[in-house]
Structure 1
């Protein structure tokens, strides 16, 4: 054996070890990641248990044949599905059609007792078909989805229906003032069968989430707190967010495209805090509300967010406390400063955050389902 080989044989083997600082960083990261994963999984399990333990009413309650006319547009798909599924479990028979279908001919053949239509800002709303249904002796109802923001359009349509149901309580007097006798306040709800509390990838998990179109009042709020949000784990989604003066600060956190309801629900469920900010009634750029009809009722997102078992921070509407108790089932803010303060508070009080989120989910399942809303609608229409 030569001298070189002998030296190699005698040289001790070395095992690479991470520098102490790198090892400490890994261990710290592991602890943080484990804690986040455990907290998310534990909360998801509690959500699943609430859904399991709050029984939903089942069975046919009405010996009726109902025709449901679907809305037009992707944003209404989940509403259509919720109404259709709940009707099928509530009445004897359901006939589902689209607005462009010849549902007058279908009605002549099938003779439904009631025809229910969900209003959307369709280019040509089928008023002539509604008149034809009434001439056949079929009771007609419309459920208005965008009050009071497009009352300049809806006020032209509602007189052609027997029953008008609106999401905005302030619109009742407006429609009655033009001769509509049967006008009722009826919010949307949720379909418990669509709630899936399942694991979602970590890419969905954020501390803060805001999903919605960048109406001007929302733009102003986000601009006011942009310096705070730029350092936060936040996702903002929706159209027109390039309007922000602070867009460059937040660009990496903005998704400028539309999310379907199922994807939206995943983001809500995976986020610690979801912000809800109602649109303004006097935004002339996007509204057709020349009478300035006020908005007192909470938007459907209030219920959608609560149904995802997450903490909701929302601005205040007059009717909000009839849906949820602030501080117990969601929380509210009245200024950008208060919003920042409450975000900080709940990010540092995890158990309280989860407790409020779970109580919001519980109340949603007990009181705010499509089945209960439609039962109320049918009770009104049948004079019970």
Structure 2
């Protein structure tokens, strides 16, 4: 089967790898000139454990299974990663109730090694922390996301697949032989494929609208949520990731570490109407206020604008977070076409698990049992 995967972000690369390793011919079409240049390169690089999501949801199922697979992949392929753990902290009674619910949800989702801590226990682990209560997620970690994506690209190419850079997809048309895909760019043209996977991230709804006979009512409205990050100029004050109680639209301005030990804070939640990747230095005021709730010792003048990402959300302010949308023929009625919408956090963690489901669905096989 000749398969086109649209988008060389982490989901597209993982899907291309899964299909190529099963013996399919794979082309990954990427509109830009590099892998992971969109959502996949603008996140916290966190391997999530899986406690934030409703039981039975795609986000919960794929995060828990994907986390186990991504750790195994990193270990077998020499990808820099660290199971550093994180503390989810409360600084008020209201927040304590909120994180207690997250703790219970994690247990319901089968997340291992969750430990509830009182204030003294949390401060023993992280002396600079301020909190009224916390819980430890020992399975949370970090990785070098670009090294991970490079490894996925390498396995696609080793298995005979290819990445077509600067190759935007303009339209998908149906024919008796399969899907006729029209490409733009410097060398425009058409090519016939047996199957297509739309993993275009922020561009996925536009691809769906350009797909022959795709039901217009199934194309979701894309809601843009910008997440800004600020770097920290001092030495790391914590050895673990520190997450506050979640806020509307996100997980709160948290402290993360990268593989070099550098500290980053973010993301915040900024609802926007158009793509904009600039970080407003004035937003640092909100960061100082939020961070000092759990780290009062944050020095003045120590934060600087770093980068931002834009989440492909399906719901807006004040609305419950939407689940991942993975649609095939059973949902939209079109053979050998997989549409992916709203693959935001924990998409990186879930990528290898999502990829296997897509491969199973294209092969008309029962989905593999997901681990809990």
TM-score normalized by structure 2?
0.31
Name the structure, 1 or 2, with higher relative contact order (CA <8 Å, separation 6+).
2
Bigger radius of gyration among the two: 1
TM-score normalized by structure 1?
0.30
Normalized per residue, which structure has more strand?
A: 2
